[in-house]
Structure 1
Amino acid sequence: MSTSLMNPSEAPSTVPPPRKARKLPGWAVGLLAVVGAITLLATTSYLTGVAQLTSAGTIQTAVGLALPILLAGLGGLWAERAGVVNIGLEGMMILGTWGAAWAGYQWGPWPALIAAIVFGALGGLLHAVATVTFGVNHIVSGVAINLLGAGVTKYLSTLLFEPVSNNPRESPAVPKFDTYSAAGLTDWLAELEQQQRVGVSDVAGILRGLLTGVSPLVMIAAALVVASYLILWKTRFGLRLRSVGENPVASESLGVNVYLYKYAAVLISGALAGIAGATLVLNPGQPGYLEGQTNGRGYIGLAAMIFGNWRPGGLLGGAALFGYADGLQLRSGGATFMSLIYGSVLLVGAVVIWQLWKRRWIAALGGAVAAVALYAIYFSVEEVPSQLTTYAPHLVTLVVLAVASQRLRMPAADGEVYRRG
């Protein structure tokens, strides 16, 4: 009998491997983000004395302004998840606004919505034919559709709207959707908001703004966000569509019809952009179609989609941010907009503390410098000039994309020209 001596260092380890930290589910992250945003706004409102930050009127205006951005971004999400960059969202929105006005003043809001979907989908079909079938560069095709949408609607307005409205740039008045409010609940929330209690009144104002004057378009947009998530992430169709955007060659080898899924995604993208255009015509406050009324919202929707990391939940947050910045400057002007800069100082300060806790010294130093610079602006400037507040959503877009660019991951085959075989 032979025995072998084993070096203790060579003995198998009985120490279990360290456990990986469990990530929070997406809904929990979103809930924490909402709570953090409300806390930040309430704190800023209390420290600056600006109640408009969380007033019901500001939130209601922000919802209306965020709606077309959200729907346009959702259209971009569908296309880019299938690997097609859709810069043409602006042009498809323009087609949707004209289609909604043309059908709306004749037959009412619901036919207007259907017409907007059809006109937007036609723009998507054109983009799909150019990019998927003929292999045209996605950016070139999108820019061409933006120019074509503006030109076609200008011609059609001169042909059909001018004899009725006596203005080639404007349609006749279009009937609007009815709006709904939770009367008893909103009255109670209004009483809480007027009491100006720290935190409580802020939450009451936000909830009252979300529950007052709700249009069917808001309900449709919320349903489309949920449906997009469920379809793209929880169904076989969505899995195949996303695989086309990640690796179309591998998808084809598994029997997926890549062309069919790309066409379906871009058609849905155009239809959603058409609905985004319809919100500019069918929401209260707009008489109907007006030339140039999209005002770059298709591009901002695309930025909101990128900010949301090509996911519906993140897109919703990005659209809310851009709509809120636009609504605040429309409701209150430059003086109130300065309070957002103060809120930014608080936010950056929280980020600096987080970076210090993680021992990321360089990032913490950079955040501290940014916080000092923002506070210097807040301390030295009494009111932001109106020329700058008009472009608040665009400035917010640039800042947010610059900050969020480090954590983004686009679909691997996004923008690539695909050829079968």
Structure 2
Amino acid sequence: MTTVISKPADGGAVPPAPRRTKKLPGWSKGLIWVAAVIAALSAASYMTGVAQLTATGTIQTALVLAIPILLAALGGLWAERAGVINIGLEGMMIMGTWGAAWAGYQWGPWAALVAAAIFGALGGLVHAIATVTFGVNHIVSGVAINLLGAGLTKYLSTLLFQPVSNNPRESPPVPKFDTYSAQPLSDWLGDLEDMQRVGLSDVAGVLRGLVTGVSPLTMLALLLVPVSYLVLWRSRFGLRLRSCGENPVAAESLGVNVYLHKYAAVIISGAFAGVGGAALVLTPGGHPGYLEGQTGGRGYIGLAAMIFGNWRPTGLLGGSALFGYADGLQLRSGGSTVMALFYAAVLVLFAAAVALVFTRKYFAAGLTLVGAAVLYLVYWSVDEMPSQLSTYLPHMVTLVVLAVAAQRLRPPAANGEEYRRGRGH
């Protein structure tokens, strides 16, 4: 078989076919970002003399605080991939904290985990009935779930916890999960960290924080990230579920039971959020049990982590790590260390601006340099961030990250839209 190449009518040369450049896979881009962030933290730690940026204790605290956010973000991912906006993650987390404390006090941490998933799933069921069956606005229903979760747990705490703890706002102490460390790897990494070598000790501190004092709940939460990816992107059920969030009418025409998949997604979403609430109760080193207001807006931050991750499991993992790290840094080290984080952010923004120049995105590079200059001015003029502001560092990071990431977001096409069987657009 011969291939005939036609010549242009004017007799000119045939233009060469454009070369196809191979794109890096998503996981490799993630590894590049991780390496860049660790390099920036290492450089900032060396230049500012603040070793806490990459210390084992900081990473351990960040991991513990990131897990509830990660589970809430996974819950949001499941719901919104099916086309249902779940603002009610906060209320489902609250219900999960109460369920975990109630069952954990009587039967131990594993029973607490199951009860938290059930209580969160019940909140998801209510949200699904309101939005999928009755067509209630998703935002309105989510806000109502948040109010319902807070009010219901307050009533149940007064009814069941007050006679035992003598306080309607908290439960009696709940048994926690044991923690495990990877020995002798942890000791070897500790020796490297104590050497205080630039770069090497920073990497050792980060790795040691990830393999020391890890609870089974942390392992389960991290495992749910690849499991969610495999189910949603590599299974028939996941393909049908995601089609309900992209074009439910087309999915219906192909025989997909859209109502069933939306219900399943929102109930699973609630279960994940409930387990995220259980992480606040069952994590060693935290509050002894349930405490009113314990979630502290982590359901909303989890929703922000999901959006930052562009509705992808690996992306929301990075967002959860970022918010957990910011929260853990201010809790463990205080305002002076937070200012060192500003210095690291300046380095990251400067590197991003250089990369944008090489890709000829000069306007974006200029804006990035302006942001870096503003952050450096803040770092240079303020010695220590006031405690009143550092407490809300995760929330400020949430706003900044969402503002920066807003231009590249691609939510499911039919997310938040009302669906009725047999009706086209």
Shorter-chain TM-score range:
over 0.9
Tell me whether 1:142 sits opposite 2:142 in the alignment: yes
Residues 298 and 17 (structure 1 numbering): CA distance in 2 closer, same or farther, change over 3 Å?
same
Tell me whether 1:377 sits opposite 2:383 in the alignment: no
- Determine helix, strand or coil for the equivalent of 1:148: helix
Match of 1:335 in 2: 336
Match of 2:82 in 1: 82
Aligned-pair CA distance for 1:8: 5.9
Aligned-pair CA distance for 1:353: 1.2
CA distance in 1, matches of 2:331, 2:74: 25
> Is the CA contact (8 Å cut-off) linking 2:233 and 2:239 kept in structure 1?
yes
Aligned-pair CA distance for 1:16: 4.0
Letter aligned with residue 413 of structure 2: A
- Determine helix, strand or coil for the equivalent of 2:418: coil
> Is the CA contact (8 Å cut-off) linking 2:350 and 2:369 kept in structure 1?
yes
Match of 1:254 in 2: 254
Give the total of aligned pairs. Answer: 416
CA distance in 2, matches of 1:193, 1:342: 22
- Determine helix, strand or coil for the equivalent of 1:65: helix
Match of 1:56 in 2: 56
Letter aligned with residue 103 of structure 1: A
Per-residue CA deviation, residues 265-293 of structure 1 (Å, 9 max, x unaligned), is: 00100000010000000001220000000
- 1:326-365 to structure 2, matched below 5 A, reads 326-365=327-366
Letter aligned with residue 199 of structure 1: G
CA distance in 1, matches of 2:289, 2:13: 74
Letter aligned with residue 325 of structure 1: A
CA distance in 1, matches of 2:7, 2:306: 58
Per-residue CA deviation, residues 143-192 of structure 1 (Å, 9 max, x unaligned), is: 00000000000000000000000000000100011110113111111111
Residues 175 and 7 (structure 1 numbering): CA distance in 2 closer, same or farther, change over 3 Å?
closer
Letter aligned with residue 255 of structure 1: G
CA distance in 1, matches of 2:294, 2:372: 36
- Determine helix, strand or coil for the equivalent of 1:183: coil
CA distance in 1, matches of 2:10, 2:234: 47
CA distance in 2, matches of 1:7, 1:177: 73
Per-residue CA deviation, residues 346-373 of structure 1 (Å, 9 max, x unaligned), is: 1111122122222222222222222222
> Is the CA contact (8 Å cut-off) linking 2:79 and 2:85 kept in structure 1?
yes
Moved more, 29-38 or 404-413: 29-38
CA distance in 2, matches of 1:13, 1:221: 59
- Determine helix, strand or coil for the equivalent of 2:310: coil
CA distance in 1, matches of 2:167, 2:21: 63
Match of 1:418 in 2: 419
Match of 2:402 in 1: 401
Letter aligned with residue 160 of structure 1: L
Tell me whether 1:277 sits opposite 2:259 in the alignment: no
- 1:22-421 to structure 2, matched below 5 A, reads 22-285=22-285, 286-421=287-422
CA distance in 2, matches of 1:256, 1:10: 54
CA distance in 2, matches of 1:86, 1:363: 32
CA distance in 2, matches of 1:405, 1:239: 26
CA distance in 2, matches of 1:23, 1:7: 32
CA distance in 2, matches of 1:146, 1:167: 23
Aligned-pair CA distance for 1:9: 3.9
Letter aligned with residue 175 of structure 1: P
> Is the CA contact (8 Å cut-off) linking 2:78 and 2:269 kept in structure 1?
yes
> Is the CA contact (8 Å cut-off) linking 2:7 and 2:14 kept in structure 1?
no
CA distance in 1, matches of 2:393, 2:195: 30
Letter aligned with residue 73 of structure 2: G
Tell me whether 1:19 sits opposite 2:19 in the alignment: yes
CA distance in 2, matches of 1:369, 1:92: 40
CA distance in 2, matches of 1:164, 1:151: 20
- Structure 2: runs of 5+ lacking an equivalent: 1-5
- Determine helix, strand or coil for the equivalent of 2:296: coil
TM-score relative to the length of structure 1:
0.97
Letter aligned with residue 19 of structure 2: R
Residues 162 and 377 (structure 1 numbering): CA distance in 2 closer, same or farther, change over 3 Å?
same
Aligned-pair CA distance for 1:7: 8.6
CA distance in 2, matches of 1:369, 1:271: 43
Aligned-pair CA distance for 1:343: 1.0
Taking only the aligned residue pairs, the percentage that are identical comes to: 73
Moved more, 244-253 or 175-184: 175-184
- Structure 1: runs of 5+ lacking an equivalent: 1-5
CA distance in 2, matches of 1:356, 1:80: 35
CA distance in 2, matches of 1:7, 1:402: 50
Moved more, 79-88 or 380-389: 380-389
CA distance in 1, matches of 2:366, 2:232: 40
Moved more, 279-288 or 7-16: 7-16
CA distance in 1, matches of 2:12, 2:271: 61
Residues 359 and 156 (structure 1 numbering): CA distance in 2 closer, same or farther, change over 3 Å?
same
> Is the CA contact (8 Å cut-off) linking 2:7 and 2:13 kept in structure 1?
no
Residues 8 and 89 (structure 1 numbering): CA distance in 2 closer, same or farther, change over 3 Å?
closer
CA distance in 2, matches of 1:315, 1:355: 24
Aligned-pair CA distance for 1:12: 9.0
Aligned-pair CA distance for 1:196: 0.2
- Determine helix, strand or coil for the equivalent of 2:319: helix
Residues 16 and 149 (structure 1 numbering): CA distance in 2 closer, same or farther, change over 3 Å?
same
Match of 1:3 in 2: none
Which aligned segments of 4 or more residues in structure 1 are displaced greater than 6 angstroms? none
Per-residue CA deviation, residues 32-79 of structure 1 (Å, 9 max, x unaligned), is: 111111111111111111110000000000000000000000000000
